[in-house]
Structure 1
Amino acid sequence: MRHDKAVMVIELARRMAASAEGLTLDEMARETGVGRRTAERMRDAVILLFPSVEEVSDPPTKRWRIRGGLSAFEQAPTTTELVELSKAAQALRVSGEPGRAAALEGLERKLKSAMRSTTLNRLAPDLEALVRAETIAVQAGPRPSADEAMLATIRAAVLAQAPLGFTYSRPGAEVRRRTVAPCGVMFGRANYLVAADRESGRIQTFRLDRMSAVEAEAGFAPPPEDFDLSVFASQSFGIYQDEIEDIVLRVSPEGAAAARGWRWHPTQTLEDQADGSVVVRFRASGMRELAWHLFTWGEQVTIVGPQRLKAVMAGELAAARRALDTAP
């Protein structure tokens, strides 16, 4: 479907207004998915339509931004955008994150209150119908703990690049007081603080529900300069981090269709086999979480490698068998 040029120009204007430092031509081209020459023409159109466009010198290049934001006319959200925001808040509330859900619900109220009444009245019937027609399925599993006061303390320490102190307790280990350089938080089946050891710089994860007496401490504790939380999170099958392995799984013909539509990992490749099966390859850590997931595939998945994943799977099976044998 051919993109409407006017829509693309308005979208570029929104991006320029949303960026505090402004966008270069290369960034405009990348974010809008067009060539540099097309980005130049779109920039010129934005300058023509929005006199508040400001050129910022950033040697060896230039940036352009729109100061003061855009009017409600250019910024009115669509029905789909409002529905997705409502669903995101609902998903957080269902998963046991009332504080984060409330933040999104507050944003939704602010957006609606800033809209023209005629626009809101026009969207309201479709919005109500879609919200009623879509819901979030409740999944079995532990509900993550997200103490809002703790999250606020962690976020403040991250922004200030201050040391974060806390008491950490986990089964089978001695309760310890830790002081780390906080890097961020990963939200998932359980919520984790990602932090660097202040002496070795080694990145570690700590479950929030096992942390107490959390406080920002005096001093300066920035994360490692080359640390990227998104890259770190993508290395693991789940959240738990250990040694990265080359994973090779063979999915039987019966499960091949489901496997092709499944997102195993950001690095995955799929290879169709002559017998109708599929070989899945990716690089990841977190063998235990991967083993837990593979149980849901039953006999449809065979572990080709690595050996450590086979050993972890065998250990989990043995633990389950012992639990059954000792059950009354």
Structure 2
Amino acid sequence: MVRSANAANVEAIERAIVAKRRLRLKYRAASTRATTWRDVDPAALRLADSELYLVGWDLGKEDWRIFKVARVEVAQLRDEPSEPHGVFDEARLFENSVRVWVADPVDVVVRLTPEVAHLVEEYPLHPNQRATKAPDGGVVVRARVAGTLEALRWVLGWGRAAEALEPSAFRLLVAEELRAAVKPYGRGLSKKSTPDPVSRGVRRNPATTERGRSPKAEPSP
């Protein structure tokens, strides 16, 4: 199921691909939310995580670009035919992509804890990743990816079970993202506000005292 894509825009894009015609897109950038008009020669539609993406040659950028269809506000079919721009090799374009992101390749290394190590093949970082068992039962994942944005999301998705190891810039990026995520939860918290083991669902042993020692028997009267 495709989420959030405007049906009229999808139809215009599909018609442009089939008829080999140029598109004019009013496109909203994810980072700045600013909208710009882009002239694009469309090549293909790609589905990833229930989201539709347009692969096309951006005439203004003079390069292949990926457009999330949900951020296309207007898609106009032009009279001009699209141009080939060389041989379109989709497999090569997405060779290092985790999902659909296209950028310069980066070699990353991530460690997963023993608790989730068995899931590394079920939820891979990249199809060409190399996973090596660690002495503690965890796993170290090495992969060449397109940029670090999608790899960052993959690491964050594991929570405390993942640690970015290399490169140092990627490790720093993950650390900064985690610090920013934790910041709202640190406001107003103190040691007094920390829940006790009972409220956290941890059962106390009724045969122990506050410090965990068994109470001494009272002497007989």
Pairing partner for 2:37 from 177, 180, 188: 177
User: What is residue 163 of structure 1 aligned with on the other side?
Assistant: 22
1:293 aligns with 2:158: no
3-state SS of 1:320 partner: helix
Query: Following the alignment from structure 1 to structure 2, what is the Cα–Cα distance between the partners of residues 308 and 245?
Result: 11
- 5 Å-filtered alignment, 1:90-105, equals 92=1, 97=2
Q: Which amino acid aligns with 1:252?
A: T
Post-superposition Cα deviations, 1:162-204, rounded to whole Å, max 9, x if no partner, equal 2110111235253211111112122223322221122553111
Q: Which amino acid aligns with 2:113?
A: S
Q: Which has the higher contact order (CA 8 A, sep 6+)?
A: 2
How far apart in 2 are the matches of 1:200 and 1:150? 22
Instruction: Give secondary structure in 2 for the equivalent of 1:308.
Output: helix
Matched residue, 1:273: 134
Q: What displacement does 1:296 show?
A: 2.9
Give the TM-score of the pair, scaled to structure 2: 0.72
Report the counterpart of residue 206 of structure 2 in structure 1.
none
Separation in 2 of the partners of 1:292 and 1:163?
Answer: 33
Which consecutive unaligned segments of at least 5 residues does structure 2 have?
189-221
How far did 1:322 drift?
Answer: 4.2
Tell me how many residue pairs correspond in the alignment.
Answer: 186
CA deviation vs aligned residue, 1:190-249 (integer Å, no higher than 9, x gap): 322221122553111222122122112122323432322243334211223332211211
Which structure has the greater CA radius of gyration?
2
How far 1:318 moved relative to its partner? 3.2
More strand by share: 2
Out of 71, 74, 83, the residue aligned to residue 210 of structure 1 is 71
Kindly provide the CA deviation profile for residues 248-273 of structure 1, in whole angstroms up to 9, marking residues without a partner as x: 11223332222244333121112223
Q: Does the CA-based 8 Å contact 1:248-1:303 persist in structure 2?
A: yes
Distance 1:185 1:300 in 2: 34
TM-score, structure 1 as length reference: 0.50
Among all aligned residue pairs of Structure 1 and Structure 2, give the percentage whose two residues are the same amino acid. 25
- Aligned counterparts of 2:121 and 2:67: Cα–Cα separation in 1: 33
Query: More helix per residue: 1 or 2?
Result: 1
Secondary structure of the 1:315 match is helix
Instruction: Give the AA of the match of 1:258.
Output: L
Q: Which residue is equivalent to 2:13?
A: 154
- After superposition, residues 11-30 of structure 1 pair within 5 angstroms as none
* Match runs of 1:103-122 below 5 Å: none
Structure-1 residue corresponding to 2:218: none
CA root-mean-square deviation: 2.5
One-letter amino acid matched to 2:138: S
